[in-house]
Amino acid sequence: MSNLVVFLSAGIPIERPGRPVKPMYKETADVIAIREATRAAAAVAVANGELVFGGHPAITPLVTQVGEALDAVDHVVIFQSAYFRKSYPQDVNSFTRIEETPPQATEEASLQEMRDRMLSFRQYSIGIFIGGMEGVEEEWSQFRIRHPHAPAIPIPTTGAAAQRLFAEWSNELEPTLRRDLQVSRAYGSLMHRLILGGL
């Protein structure tokens, strides 16, 4: 396996009991784009190195599909918090490399523990941020602090948190790349360029 290690932070804004989705995420999220971008990022990462991600219930099946299709499930590291053990997606069982972090007193504290360990798990080559809500924004901020020399790229066409991050941060990007990120939905070639292009 190469030295390429990709951190993927992705989510689909989904309502659940006691946790409504804020309009700023719900109104801009493009679910099809989130799924396509996630599959594309996972495919480039596992074909060329290692992918690390937190097991969001809507994202885990997508990564599973890619890993199995490329016979590269062992190139994926999935993080899960034991706080959610009773509700793990069934697809978690498809992975051979599962990092389970200990439960904390609350859901938020458990998620923070998982993120702390996940973001210090490797020296990441790049972070890709797709769709999502508060968690994606939190992981982007932490990634930038912990891995200041690695690109942290939000994919704005997926909407939701990634779109918000791009609006705040995109002036740091080279103009041609910024424009392409704003308009391109050819996620396969885009992820190849981002992950393998040596930004």
Q: How many CB atoms lie within 10 A of CB 5?
A: 19
Q: Residue 86: what pLDDT?
A: 81
Q: How confident is the model at residue 199 (pLDDT cuts 50, 70, 90)?
A: low
93/76 Cα distance (integer angstroms): 12
Domains recognised in the chain with CATH numbers: 5-196 (3.40.50.450)
* Average pLDDT across the chain, whole number: 93
Query: Residue 48 pLDDT > 90, yes or no?
Result: yes
Look up residue 27 and give its two tokens. 């109104």
More confident residue, 91 or 105: 105
Q: Residue 72: what pLDDT?
A: 95
Query: Residue 115 pLDDT > 60, yes or no?
Result: yes
Query: Residue 172 pLDDT > 80, yes or no?
Result: yes
- Mean of pLDDT values over 126-141: 96
